[in-house]
Structures are given as structure tokens and as C-alpha cells.
């Protein structure tokens, strides 16, 4: 209602003075303005409802697309983190649908609870006042006309005429007063009524929106622990991606260097060759040359041709195979270069005229096909042995060196932050390894001269330099298959049999190392090195593919899974008695994802107190519990996303100059896992940035808190 309207007094209404009429007009204008505002409110509410419905439909369409989205897996298996991430979009869609269900309920009540009451108020109350105004104006006109007629009568009229006129005027005046009083009452009443009826209706509308947003807030609050767990998994997956990307890029450069150095001769020595050749085919009106992908196996002397052209890959013909007796140079009459002939073993069949890609390519094909198969089977040549001057195997000196390093580290308490993650100085590490090989270690490894990071780096360097990985090449693929087992019990049983299949020296060294790493992980509340972090450091040290390929690089992520399982279950693995098989339909046969649902309540505020409305949905959202931030067993669950293996130079982040950069911008979200690490969201500015003592970490300030920041999560600002 407007401000400054004077009340309409009934005495002034009966007097019908010009002042009353002016005041009445102000009330009528205010009523008309109120009517237009309500009309506009109704329109805007309808627009909001329609827009909300369109938004809800778009959100549901998004949820449907997210449910149907599928991640492709490069390789045969995915890690547990990758499985959770691959299902995360489906869980996001469930959350969106939960929120949209509440929106639908709110919008379904909007017309009945908001639009209809507003329209009813406008039609019934304001409409009744407008009807009263018409009646008031009609009675006013009738009274004024009757008054003018009565007063205009001539005095010569008879008395009965005057009496009738006076009676008519008195009746018109009574009707006018009645209509005037009723109109003034209605006009003031509707202005007062709108204060509670109109506001009460709008309060219901706003409260409905509050309820909807509160539901969204509840979903967010209940899902927050699971979202944080998903963030940690994403961070670990990003770290794995960065590591595999660097390894793949290194392999790509090596392959390019090999090509430039013409090292394809190794394939010829293996008795096989493949590549593209052009085959000459005689037609009725001449000859044609068609491109084929050809392979040759020396043992079977089988030469296969597959019609294929990279420009038009859809037109693929059938494979033709020919047993060849040898090869020879082509007839010099051919107009094309680099031609040669493959002579079939069947003499009745004509020789195949082929064109190589270059003179060098033709020479290789001729050399390969000219070579005759061996007269008898030969024993494959043993793998090249490393130089005895450089090799240091699992001998007494090696065991003594490892025992001495472990004993010294454990005597110092195992409480230094970043133990095994922080690398030592290369020159000191090399000198310590050389002293251990020569059995000339000092009687006392003083901390001032031999820091803990030098000892840990020397231990990893010794294991990394073994002629064969500690877990052996023979069992390499079987260890990876065990790491890819989803059921915990199945994985432990497979690892138990593999550990006992190792050579005795390898098994004893592994037992000694894992026992030490368990003691390191037990102090993870101080040193921040849980089993997961230690697995990142020792994965590429204990396992190594015999031949570096893209597939082997993609399996690096399972190295960490395997080593973490070895650390967690080492007492069971070295027990002579194998673990018993689980009973049918036991929880042990469930996947790691299901097993996480059966774990203890999640720590942190709001954990374990999910509302019944969302409890089932939130169980589907994320399988893993929130990583503990404090309390016993923190190290076993904690794994920093930015923890990088320092067991090899390729594990370090690409060099980036931070000199002179006092501010950085965050690129990704990061959840700090200890009091010394900062948590941040993307596009936040961290100030007072300096290089910390740990490789790959910076130190800076955010929101008044100072802590460590991973270098690969930020970019420098000018």
C-alpha cells in the first residue's frame, strides 16, 4: 500500500466535500496501481514457473545424457579409482533427479497455492470495490440529478408536486449515502486486506522456493564427504595420467630416434617382417598396382598380403597367403623403381611382382626372404647379461646394505615428513651405493653427513639397479593380473601364491622391505607417508616391464595398486598357510566398491547422519569412504594426489621456473590431506609463494593460512 494516504472518514463521506472527493481519487488511484501490480505479479510468477519447468526439463535431459555417458578404457582393466570415476556421472544424474523431483513438487503446487489466490484476490476483492465504485457513481449521478430537478421547480407549482419531488430527492440522497458509505468501507478494507492476504500468498511462494533450495542444500551436505572422496580419486587419477603421459612421450621420442637410426634390423633378425608393398596385377588392358600390407614369417615362410589403403580404409579385401621359396630382383624392363619378386614354393604359380617403398626397404625384403629356415631347431639365445662391473644382484653385500639402511632409518624414528618421497642429492646417493657394493659402509651413518633422504634414495637406487626386478619378469604379468582383481580375498590369495613362487632370495628381500614399509606407514600421522604414498614411490622400483611399450606404460597405475596391497597384507602373504577361500556369497567376494559401503561410518561433520530421504541415493553416489583426516590408521588411507614417485627421474614434474613469482593461480581443486597442506578450488590466488624444501611443492598463503601447494596444480602470475 502507498504511503501518505489519509483515511476516508464517514462524516466527510456523508458531507461529500471536494476534499473528500480528492482523497477518494487518491485511494482509487492507489487501488488501481495495486491491481496492476498484482496482475504483473501473476504474470511474473507464471513466467518463473514456466522457466523453472524448462530448466527442470533441461536438467533432466542432462541427467539422462550423463546416465548414458560411458568412459572408454584403454587397456584390459581399470583401477578402483577409474571404476568409481566412470560411474560418477550416473551418480551425479541421480542427485540431479532427486533435486528435480522436489522442483516438480514445488511447481505442481504453484498454480493452486500462488497463482489462484492472487487471481482470486484481484477478482473478488478488488473487483468488488470496482463494482461498488460503479454503484457509487450511479447513485451520485441520480442524487445530483434529483437534487437539480427538485431545486429547479417553480414556486407556482402545486404543493403535492413539491412533496413528491422532495420525497424522490430524499430517497435518492439516502441511496447515495448508503452507496457512498459502502464504497468507502470496501475501498479501505481491501487496502488493509492486501497486507496479510497478498503477503501471505507470496510468503507461501517464497517458502516453496526455500524448501526446494533447502533440499538441494541437504543433498549437497549429505554428499559432501563422498564428493571429497571422489576429488581424491580424481587427483590420484590425474597424477597417474601425468606420469603415464611423460613415460609415453619418452617412449615416443625413443621410437622416433630408433627409426632415424635405422634400428629396424632387429625385426629382421627375429625372422619376421611387415610393411606396405605395391602388388602388380595384370589386367586385360594393362597392369595395375594396388597397395597391400604384407607380413612374412621365416619359420613358416608364409607371405601374407592384405589389400589396404590408408586413404580409403573401408575398402578392405581378403587376406591372401603364399608359401614362398625365396625372393629375387625384378626384371629391369619394369618402369617402376624398387621392384622385386617373391617366388612361390609352388612352381606352377607365377612369381609375385612387388614394389617396395625405397631401395633400402627392397634390400631388407630381399634379405629376409632369401634367408633359409634353420636345419634344426635352435635354442634361443640367452638374454644379454649386464656388465659384471655394474651389476649388483641379491648377494650378501646387497642384503647387508639393505639391512643397514633399514636399521639406520628405523633408529632415527621414521618420523621425517615425506620419507621415501623426498629425493636425496644424486652424487651422495651414488657414493653411498658404491660404498655398500664394496662393503665399505661407515661404522656409523651420521645424520649430518648421511641424511634420511639420502638413505631412502640409495635403497631405491639399489633395488632399481637389480639385473632383474625384485618381483621378476617371469611373474610380472601374473602380479599385474592379481592387482587387477576386484575382490580383496581373491587378490590376497593370488598374491600369496605369487610371493611363494618367487626365488628364495627375492622373497626374503621382499619380506624384509615390506615389513619396513609397514612400520613407515604406521607413523603416517607424522611422516605423511601411508601405504598408498609408499606404493607410488616403490611401484616402478619393484616392477619393471621387460620391454617398454605403450601397454606397459598404461599398466603403471596398477603397480601402485599392487605395492599398496603387498604392504597392507604382507603378514598374510608370507604366512606359509594360504588364506582360506571365502564362504559363498560372503562380503569378501564383493568388489572393492561394495566393500567400501560396508566400512565404518564416515568421519567428519555430518557423516553417518544422512537423511532417510537421501541415504539410499548417497550410498550409490560414491563407494569409497572419506579419507580420514585424523585418528588411528590415517596413513593407510591417506594418499596425496600430488605425491609423485621419486624413484625415477621421469617421475618428477616438468621443470617450471618459479623465480620471482610471488603469486600463483590454482588450476584444479585440491583437498589438503594434512595440516601442512592447503585446500583450494580452481581460480583462487595464492600469495607469498616460495619454493619449499620438498621437490614438487611450493609454500604459500591462502585465506590467512600458510601451507604446501603442489606445483603441478598452479600456474605463476606476474
If pLDDT is split at 50, 70 and 90, which confidence band does 677 have?
confident
Q: What local confidence, expressed as pLDDT, does residue 220 receive?
A: 80
Residue 151, pLDDT > 60, answer yes
What percent of the chain is modeled with pLDDT above 90? 12
Q: What local confidence, expressed as pLDDT, does residue 332 receive?
A: 79
Per-residue pLDDT tens digits for 365-415: 888 887 444 333 344 444 444 444 345 778 888 899 999 999 999 998 888
Average pLDDT estimate for 356-363 = 89
Q: What local confidence, expressed as pLDDT, does residue 271 receive?
A: 67
More confident residue, 304 or 270: 304
Strand, helix or coil at 698? strand
Bridge pairing between strands 272-283 and 352-355: antiparallel
d(CA 94, CA 18): 68
392: left (phi over 0), alpha (psi -120 to 50) or beta: beta
Residue 626 in grid coordinates: 572419506
Q: What local confidence, expressed as pLDDT, does residue 584 receive?
A: 57
If pLDDT is split at 50, 70 and 90, which confidence band does 54 have?
very high
From the number of C-beta atoms within 10 Å of its C-beta (0-12, 13-18, 19+), residue 344 rates as: middle
Residue 440, pLDDT > 70, answer yes
Per-residue pLDDT tens digits for 587-644: 444 444 433 333 333 333 333 333 433 344 334 434 333 333 333 333 333 443 333 3
Q: What local confidence, expressed as pLDDT, does residue 76 receive?
A: 64
More confident residue, 656 or 248: 248
Q: Which of 3-17, 150-164, 667-681 has the highest mean pLDDT?
A: 150-164
Contact present, 223 and 95 (Cβ < 8 Å): yes
d(CA 224, CA 626): 9
d(CA 624, CA 234): 13
Per-residue pLDDT tens digits for 461-482: 999 889 899 999 899 888 988 8
- Residue 93's contacts (CB-CB under 8 Å, 6 or more residues apart) are 62, 63, 64, 66, 67
Residue 424, pLDDT > 90, answer no
Contact present, 625 and 600 (Cβ < 8 Å): yes
Residue 322 in grid coordinates: 603364399
If pLDDT is split at 50, 70 and 90, which confidence band does 20 have?
confident
Residue 35 in grid coordinates: 491491481
Q: List, in order of start, the domains of the chain with CATH numbers.
A: 272-370 (2.30.29.30), 396-589 (1.10.555.10), 653-717 (2.30.30.40)
Residue 496 in grid coordinates: 600369496
User: What value does the CA radius of gyration of the chain take, rounded to a whole number of Å?
Assistant: 44
Contact present, 326 and 343 (Cβ < 8 Å): yes
Average pLDDT estimate for 416-430 = 88
- Residue 330's contacts (CB-CB under 8 Å, 6 or more residues apart) are 339, 340, 341, 353
Contact present, 527 and 419 (Cβ < 8 Å): yes
Provide DSSP, 272-326: EEEEEEEEEEEETTEEEEEEEEEEEETTTTEEEEEE--TTSTT-----EEEEEEE
Per-residue pLDDT tens digits for 545-586: 887 777 777 777 788 888 998 999 988 889 888 877 766 544
- According to DSSP, the residues that pair with 326 across neighbouring strands are 343
Residue 27, pLDDT > 50, answer yes
Q: Which of 156-160, 221-225, 469-473 has the highest mean pLDDT?
A: 469-473
Average pLDDT estimate for 75-97 = 81
pTM score: 0.51
Provide DSSP, 65-81: HHHH-----SSS---HH
Which phi and psi angles does 385 have, rounded to 5°? -90, 140
From the number of C-beta atoms within 10 Å of its C-beta (0-12, 13-18, 19+), residue 536 rates as: buried
Would the CA dihedral through 573, 579, 585, 587 be positive or negative? negative
CA 375 to each of CA 266, 372, 589: distance values in angstroms, whole numbers, following the listed order: 22, 9, 53
Per-residue pLDDT tens digits for 164-204: 888 888 898 888 888 888 888 888 888 888 878 888 888 88
d(CA 629, CA 603): 8
CA 121 to each of CA 33, 78, 133, 195, 683: distance values in angstroms, whole numbers, following the listed order: 14, 63, 17, 12, 50
Strand, helix or coil at 238? helix
Per-residue pLDDT tens digits for 511-551: 999 999 999 999 888 888 888 888 888 888 898 888 777 77
Provide DSSP, 208-276: HHHHHHHHHHHHHHHHHHHHHHHHHHHHHHHHHHHHHHHHHHHHHHHHHHHHHTTTTHHHHHTTEEEEE
Q: What local confidence, expressed as pLDDT, does residue 595 receive?
A: 34
Provide DSSP, 178-207: HHHHHHHHHHHHHHHHTTTHHHHHHHHHHH
Q: What local confidence, expressed as pLDDT, does residue 276 receive?
A: 92
- Stated length of the chain: 718
Terminal alpha carbon distance of the chain: 56
Which phi and psi angles does 4 have, rounded to 5°? 95, 5
Contact present, 115 and 78 (Cβ < 8 Å): no
Cβ count near 26 (within 10 Å): 14
Amino acid at each position: 500500500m502507498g504511503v501518505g494516504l489519509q483515511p476516508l472518514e464517514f462524516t466527510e463521506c456523508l458531507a461529500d466535500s471536494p476534499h473528500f472527493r480528492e482523497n477518494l481519487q487518491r485511494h482509487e488511484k492507489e487501488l488501481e496501481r495495486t491491481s496492476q501490480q498484482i496482475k504483473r505479479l501473476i504474470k511474473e510468477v507464471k513466467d518463473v514457473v514456466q522457466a523453472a519447468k524448462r530448466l527442470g526439463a533441461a536438467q533432466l535431459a542432462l541427467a539422462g545424457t550423463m546416465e548414458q555417458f560411458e568412459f572408454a578404457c584403454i587397456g584390459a582393466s581399470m583401477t578402483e579409482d577409474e571404476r568409481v570415476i566412470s560411474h560418477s556421472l550416473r551418480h551425479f544424474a541421480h542427485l540431479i533427479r532427486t533435486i528435480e523431483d522436489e522442483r516438480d513438487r514445488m511447481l505442481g503446487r504453484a498454480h493452486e497455492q500462488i497463482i489462484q489466490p492472487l487471481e482470486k484476490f484481484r477478482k473478488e476483492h478488488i473487483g468488488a470495490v470496482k463494482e461498488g465504485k460503479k454503484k457509487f457513481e450511479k447513485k451520485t449521478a441520480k442524487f445530483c440529478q434529483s437534487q437539480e430537478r427538485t431545486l429547479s421547480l417553480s414556486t407556482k407549482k402545486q404543493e403535492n408536486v413539491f412533496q413528491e419531488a422532495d420525497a424522490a430527492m430524499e430517497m435518492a440522497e439516502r441511496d447515495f449515502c448508503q452507496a457512498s458509505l459502502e464504497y468507502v468501507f470496501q475501498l479501505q478494507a481491501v487496502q488493509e486486506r492486501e497486507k496479510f492476504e497478498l503477503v501471505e500468498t507470496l510468503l507461501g511462494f517464497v517458502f516453496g522456493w526455500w524448501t526446494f533450495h533447502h533440499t538441494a542444500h541437504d543433498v549437497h551436505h549429505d554428499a559432501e564427504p563422498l564428493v571429497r572422496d571422489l576429488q581424491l580419486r580424481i587427483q590420484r587419477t590425474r597424477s597417474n595420467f601425468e606420469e603415464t603421459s611423460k613415460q609415453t612421450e619418452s617412449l615416443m621420442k625413443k621410437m622416433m630416434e630408433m627409426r632415424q637410426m635405422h634400428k629396424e634390423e632387429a625385426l629382421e633378425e627375429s625372422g619376421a617382417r611387415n610393411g606396405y608393398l605395391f602388388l602388380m596385377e595384370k589386367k586385360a588392358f594393362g597392369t595395375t598396382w594396388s597397395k597391400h600390407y604384407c607380413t612374412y614369417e621365416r619359420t613358416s615362410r608364409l607371405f601374407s598380403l592384405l589389400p589396404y589403403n590408408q586413404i580409403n580404409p573401408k575398402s578392405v579385401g581378403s587376406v591372401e597367403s603364399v608359401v614362398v621359396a625365396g625372393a629375387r630382383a625384378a626384371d629391369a624392363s619394369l618402369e617402376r623403381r624398387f621392384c622385386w619378386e617373391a617366388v612361390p614354393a609352388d612352381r606352377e604359380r607365377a612369381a609375385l611382382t612387388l614394389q617396395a617403398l625405397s631401395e633400402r626397404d627392397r634390400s631388407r625384403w630381399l634379405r629376409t626372404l632369401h634367408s633359409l629356415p634353420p636345419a634344426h631347431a635352435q635354442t634361443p639365445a640367452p638374454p644379454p647379461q649386464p656388465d659384471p662391473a655394474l651389476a649388483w644382484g641379491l648377494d650378501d653385500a646387497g642384503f647387508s646394505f639393505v639391512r643397514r639402511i633399514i636399521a639406520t632409518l628405523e633408529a632415527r624414528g621414521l618420523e621425517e615428513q615425506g620419507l621415501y618421497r623426498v629425493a636425496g642429492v644424486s652424487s651422495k646417493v651414488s657414493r653411498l651405493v658404491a660404498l655398500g657394493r664394496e662393503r665399505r659402509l661407515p661404522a656409523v651413518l651420521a645424520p649430518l653427513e648421511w641424511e634420511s633422504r639420502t638413505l631412502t634414495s640409495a635403497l631405491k637406487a639399489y633395488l632399481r639397479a637389480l639385473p632383474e626386478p625384485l618381483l621378476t619378469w617371469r611373474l610380472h604379468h601374473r602380479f599385474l593380473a592379481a592387482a587387477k582383481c576386484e575382490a580383496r580375498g581373491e587378490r590376497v590369495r593370488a598374491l600369496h601364491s605369487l610371493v611363494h613362487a618367487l626365488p628364495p632370495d627375492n622373497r626374503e628381500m621382499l619380506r624384509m622391505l615390506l615389513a619396513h614399509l609397514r612400520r613407515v606407514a604406521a607413523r603416517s600421522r607424522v611422516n605423511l607417508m601411508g601405504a598408498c604414498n609408499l606404493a607410488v614411490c616403490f611401484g616402478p622400483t619393484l616392477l619393471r616391464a621387460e620391454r617398454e611399450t605403450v601397454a606397459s606404460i598404461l599398466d603403471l597405475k596398477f603397480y601402485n595398486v599392487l605395492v599398496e596391497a603387498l604392504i597392507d597384507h604382507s603378514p598374510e602373504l608370507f604366512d606359509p598357510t594360504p588364506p582360506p577361500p571365502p564362504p559363498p556369497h560372503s562380503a569378501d567376494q564383493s568388489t572393492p566398491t561394495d566393500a567400501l559401503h560396508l566400512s565404518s561410518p564416515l568421519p567428519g561433520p555430518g557423516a553417518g547422519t544422512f537423511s532417510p530421504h537421501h541415504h539410499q541415493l548417497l550410498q550409490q553416489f560414491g563407494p569409497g569412504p572419506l579419507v580420514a583426516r585424523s585418528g588411528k590408521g590415517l596413513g593407510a588411507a591417506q594418499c596425496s594426489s600430488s605425491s609423485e614417485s621419486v624413484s625415477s627421474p621421469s617421475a618428477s614434474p616438468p621443470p617450471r621456473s618459479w623465480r620471482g613469482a610471488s603469486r600463483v593461480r590454482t588450476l584444479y581443486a585440491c583437498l589438503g590431506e594434512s595440516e601442512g597442506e592447503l585446500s583450494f578450488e580452481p581460480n583462487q590466488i595464492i600469495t607469498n609463494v616460495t619454493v619449499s624444501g620438498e621437490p614438487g611443492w611450493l609454500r604459500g598463503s591462502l585465506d590467512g593460512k600458510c601451507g604446501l601447494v603442489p606445483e603441478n596444480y598452479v600456474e605463476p602470475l606476474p
